[in-house]
Amino acid sequence: MPMMTGEQYRASLRDGRRCYIDGELIEDPGEHPMLRTAVASVAGTYDRFYDPAPDAFHPMYTIPRSREDMDRRVKALGQSDITAGTTAACMALVDVAPELGKLRPEYRDRIYAFFDWCKDTDVRCSEAITDAKGHRRKRPLQQDDPDAYVRVVDRQSDGIVIRGAKLHITGAPLVHEQVVLPTKSMKPGEEDYAVACSVPTNAEGLHIVNTTNAPRGEDVRHFPISSRTNMPEGLLVFDDVFVPNERVFLDGETSHAASLAHALGLWERSNAVAYSGSSADRLVGLASLLAEMNGAADRTDIRDRLSELAIYATMCRAGWEAAMANAKTNEDGTLSPASLYVSASKFYNAELHGRMVDILHDIAGALLVEAPTMADHDSAEIGPDVREHLLGEGGWTAAERLKLLHYVRDLTADTYGGWIAVTESLAGGGQYAQRLVTLRHYDLASAKELARKAVGL
Amino acid sequence: MITGDAYRESLGDGRAVWLEGRRVPDVTADPLLAKSVAWVASTYDRYEGVTNPMFRVPMTRDELRDQMEFLVGADRTATTTAGCFALTTLSPGLRSLADEIVGRDARMAAAVDDTAKPVEAQARADGGVELSGGKQHVLGAAVVHELLVLAGDVACAVPVAAEGVRILAHSPAPRAGDDRHFPVSRSSTISEGLVVFDGVAVPAERVFRGADAFRDTLKLWERARAVAEQADRAELIMGLAQVISEMNGITAVPHVRDKLSAIAVYAKMCRAGWDAALGNAQEGPGGMVCPDDAYLCATKSYGSQLYSDMTHYLHDVAGGAVVTAPTIADLEHPVVGDQLRKYMRTMSEVQGEDRTRIFHVIRDLFADTFGGWDKVTNQVVDGGMHAQRMATLDAFDLEPARRRAREAAGIT
């Protein structure tokens, strides 16, 4: 099948899906004021990568076999909306296909068939991993509500029925398939919770309740990022949803529940780490411009702070380079970045992010969160006041200052900035999880041997 | 003392206010500014018939403590008004103005920071001055009655509705039609303003000399408020982190206890710094008792340096629902409401709606519009973190420290 255009994508969303926001059922996501820009950004990706050739497909469906493949994929995802990233992560299912195939051959076949179907029909997928979880220290069967983790409540000859909820699902109302995976490892006795499958967004019994980091208001010019790149997060309620066998990738094999979550977790973390260098570079650039704008670029204390940012950016970039230099290939030839460097880098990036943002705020000053809007600037009545009183040093016009201040506020000190701070830290597992994964992959034996030799033991 | 309704009525005085490019004919009717008005009006209603404590200048340490406790709990214009009142101890000439302000039960805001076009005061033949220029970061400008404008060595009291005053307001209040999932900012925001003075005539009786001393006192007052609020905020972070950890069932998890302990240390140190500033309060010019500035500077610097780490820990123990929890309207929906309550609860003792409301507070204060405004404006008090460190060094009594170092090294 040919790829979809943006218009075809928009039409594909009108499929009877039951999505809600602010307590209301959404008739058409493409027309809803809080979702339409997110839909537009996904549609824009469709149009940008559209190719009428019958066998064309988005680069996110390229299974990386080499560093060059990976670089092309990273570049393509950098030019795409977030749902391309979540879809690409879901395609990491093929990473574990060989392992699942040894368990039951049909699992491997179904994963590759699903991959081909997604690629051929040019659809988008979400990563539906995080369960409601109930009491965090109790196993699924110890919860006072057995639905705290998504589980199989019925097995039929042609499929299974699932019940439960998945939280924090990026782009959920705007994709076509919700790829459901276990949130963690399962133990014998927890077979009903060891389930992986894909569910169409318009499936009977699936309800998606959304929040969004999109700005509210008629004039959103002072939200230069979030007015263009916002994305909803869905809470998925599976109210006894039937899943046909061909979309079931794991059902009851507790030994492999964690494999799927780990495979996607690695790709989710990798996506974050791959762009952390350029994101940090942007922070350095913004801080540098703010310093110039305030006439403070030559101050010793400001140069000290800029050097902190520069080290941060360089280390973020180094982390991804090391992850790729130490990448590994599985038996089907799929290349994966090195888990050790991905986790260590993700931890480093998130741990220091707040302090780096502090530097921007310090250089910017209070005007960052109190600047007049672009509407103020363009007003016939008060525009002249704004242009006069916001004139910057070194030739900075009021309009330039306002653009820079609104950009930094939107990115670091408003709704979208809050979403970034929380999700960058928690996506793909929280900070403690990153530390554990790093320690697990670290070559402790070699380190101890080095120490033994050094001490002379 | 007037009522909240009388206060609302008093704002219909023809003041020239703009917000996001449009003229605001009535600040009490604008959806964003009305939230500021409502907060101020609530303080009015609290003190209807009795003199508001903000008009009392503290002359003892106990009075100072009472005053600060009142100000942290009141709307922010009470602090700006109290700060302006503190200046009466520096300049007897301000006393008659202060009496007039008390008589009207009015609110004041200090206009200190200049825009790119600083305010200049041109002397007039009648002894008054004419003000031209701009002031920025004027807290509450659109919803108070008087502006105390510092221009060079001159301070002027200017009615907000005076001819030639234009206010470009900004508000961090929530814009959602149904704002119940913004539990703090829906009722506790004060707008800020960039104020343009376009040839504003100020009569002689409202012009005062000695503005340099005023500036120092106003800055100290602002620093004191920020440090007092920082201690309260740190304890709130502690409380939220503990409550959400309990609701998530993770208080016994070692890495969570690590984070909770870090927040506990932070909260205690912020409180200790503020207590030390109060405990070492000193009598200033005119007899007013002021918190010790060395402790204020050090505590502000300490609190700012670690604030992002603390909110990071809070986000970490709370989880992603900080930014993805459903709204109150979602919980009320007839189709999905029960399902949401089911999946937001974690155990029999925790109701889904209660846990959702905790997430709303965390997001509103530490991961959304108001949280960003609050974080930045408190961080940059006194010029930001570097300036706060330098101020701490300047306020530190170095001589005894040097003497001890010399003694320790045996240098005579």
Same domain membership, residue A56 and residue A145: yes
* A439 domain residue, yes or no: yes
- Mutate one of B171, B376, B379, B382 to test the A interface: name it (highest A CB count within 10 A): B376
Number of compact structural domains in chain A: 2
pLDDT of residue B321: 97
Give the model's confidence band at A270: pLDDT under 50 very low, under 70 low, under 90 confident, else very high.
Answer: confident
pLDDT of residue B356: 98
Following DSSP, what letter does each residue of A45-58 receive, concatenated? HHHHH---STT---
* A44 domain residue, yes or no: yes
Nearest Cα to Cα of residue A39 among A167, A176, A166, A204: A176
Same domain membership, residue A178 and residue A65: yes
* Whole-number average pLDDT of chain B: 94
Instruction: With beta carbons less than 8 A apart as the criterion, state whether A372 and B134 touch.
Output: no
Same domain membership, residue A239 and residue A172: yes
Cα-to-chain-centroid distance, residue A257: 22
Backbone angles phi, psi at B150, to 5 degrees: -100, 125
Torsion of CA A285, A286, A291, A295, to 10 degrees: 100
Domain boundary among the residues A196, A221, A252 is at A252
Instruction: With beta carbons less than 8 A apart as the criterion, state whether B78 and B129 touch.
Output: no
Report CA-CA distances (Å) from B269 to B230, B231, B263, B265, B295: 11, 8, 10, 6, 11
Contact B332/A144, CB-based, under 8 Å?
A: no
* A382 domain residue, yes or no: yes
Give the model's confidence band at A321: pLDDT under 50 very low, under 70 low, under 90 confident, else very high.
Answer: very high
Dump pLDDT digits (tens) for B229-282.
999 999 999 999 999 999 999 999 999 999 999 999 999 999 999 999 999 999
Same domain membership, residue A147 and residue A37: yes
Contact A369/B386, CB-based, under 8 Å?
A: no
How many angstroms separate the CA of residue B385 from the nearest CA in chain A?
Answer: 7
How many angstroms separate the CA of residue B121 from the nearest CA in chain A?
Answer: 17
What the block records as the tokens of B24 is: 């605001």
Report CA-CA distances (Å) from B27 to B140, B144, B257: 12, 11, 47
Q: Is the pLDDT of residue A218 over 90?
A: no
pLDDT of residue A433: 87
Q: Which amino acid is at A242?
A: F
* A430 domain residue, yes or no: yes
**ipTM value > 0.85:** yes
pLDDT of residue A50: 96
Give the CATH number, domain containing residue A216: 2.40.110.10
Instruction: With beta carbons less than 8 A apart as the criterion, state whether A392 and B28 touch.
Output: no
Q: Is the pLDDT of residue B94 over 80?
A: yes
* A13 domain residue, yes or no: yes
Same domain membership, residue A371 and residue A241: no
How many angstroms separate the CA of residue B39 from the nearest CA in chain A?
Answer: 19
Domain boundary among the residues A252, A279, A305 is at A252
Q: Is the pLDDT of residue A188 over 90?
A: yes
Torsion of CA B67, B70, B76, B78, to 10 degrees: -60
Contact B327/A168, CB-based, under 8 Å?
A: no
pLDDT of residue B163: 97
Q: For residues A413-426, give the mean pLDDT.
A: 93
How many angstroms separate the CA of residue A287 from the nearest CA in chain B?
Answer: 14
Same domain membership, residue A239 and residue A386: no
The answer to which of A81-90, A126-135, A223-232 has the lowest mean pLDDT is A81-90
Backbone angles phi, psi at B379, to 5 degrees: -65, -35
Q: Considering CB atoms only, which of B196, B324, B346 is closest to A233? A: B324
pLDDT of residue A263: 80
Among chain A residues, the shortest Cα distance to B174 is held by: A216
* A219 domain residue, yes or no: yes
Domain boundary among the residues A252, A283, A311 is at A252
pLDDT of residue A31: 94
H-state helical runs in B249-351: 254-279, 293-318, 321-324, 328-331, 337-344
Cβ-Cβ contacts under 8 Å, A419 against chain B: 323, 367
Contact B379/A209, CB-based, under 8 Å?
A: no
Spatial CB neighbours of A396, under 8 Å, sequence gap ≥ 6: A292, A293
- d(CA B309, CA A358) in angstroms, rounded, equals 10
Greater model confidence, A73 or B40: B40
- d(CA A179, CA A369) in angstroms, rounded, equals 39
What the block records as the tokens of B281 is: 């309060």
How many angstroms separate the CA of residue B350 from the nearest CA in chain A?
Answer: 10
Q: Considering CB atoms only, which of A18, A130, A148 is closest to B320? A: A130
Same domain membership, residue A209 and residue A308: no
Instruction: With beta carbons less than 8 A apart as the criterion, state whether A233 and B327 touch.
Output: no
The answer to which of A375-379, B164-168, B283-287 has the lowest mean pLDDT is B283-287
Dump pLDDT digits (tens) for B27-45.
999 999 999 999 999 999 9
Q: For residues B381-394, give the mean pLDDT.
A: 89
- d(CA B15, CA B162) in angstroms, rounded, equals 7
Percent of chain B with pLDDT over 90: 83
Same domain membership, residue A303 and residue A247: no
What the block records as the tokens of A259 is: 């494999």
Please report the sign of the dihedral spanned by the C-alpha atoms of residue B375, residue B378, residue B383, residue B385: negative
Q: For residues B84-108, give the mean pLDDT.
A: 88
Same domain membership, residue A364 and residue A304: yes
Contact A371/B168, CB-based, under 8 Å?
A: no
Q: Residue B169's beta-bridge partner residues?
A: B19, B193
Q: Is the pLDDT of residue A242 over 90?
A: yes
Contact B335/A364, CB-based, under 8 Å?
A: no
Dump pLDDT digits (tens) for A32-71.
999 999 999 999 999 999 999 989 999 888 888 888 888 8
What the block records as the tokens of B175 is: 């814009």
Q: For residues A112-132, give the mean pLDDT.
A: 95
Give the CATH number, domain containing residue A401: 1.20.140.10
Q: Is the pLDDT of residue A331 over 90?
A: no
Cβ-Cβ contacts under 8 Å, A294 against chain B: none
Count of residues in chain B: 412
The answer to which of A70-79, A118-127, B106-115, B123-132 has the lowest mean pLDDT is A70-79
Domain, as residue range, for A435 = 259-455
Same domain membership, residue A263 and residue A245: no
How many angstroms separate the CA of residue A274 from the nearest CA in chain B?
Answer: 22
- Mutate one of B257, B324, B363, B388 to test the A interface: name it (highest A CB count within 10 A): B324
Same domain membership, residue A168 and residue A316: no
Same domain membership, residue A220 and residue A357: no
Among chain B residues, the shortest Cα distance to A411 is held by: B372
Dump pLDDT digits (tens) for B320-374.
999 999 999 999 999 999 999 999 999 999 999 999 999 999 999 999 999 999 9
Contact A22/B330, CB-based, under 8 Å?
A: yes
* A1 domain residue, yes or no: no
Nearest Cα to Cα of residue B350 among A350, A342, A136, A345: A136
- d(CA B40, CA B8) in angstroms, rounded, equals 9
Cβ-Cβ contacts under 8 Å, A133 against chain B: 346
pLDDT of residue B116: 95
* A170 domain residue, yes or no: yes
Q: Is the pLDDT of residue A203 over 80?
A: yes
Count of residues in chain A: 457
Give the model's confidence band at A442: pLDDT under 50 very low, under 70 low, under 90 confident, else very high.
Answer: very high
Output the pTM of the full model: 0.95
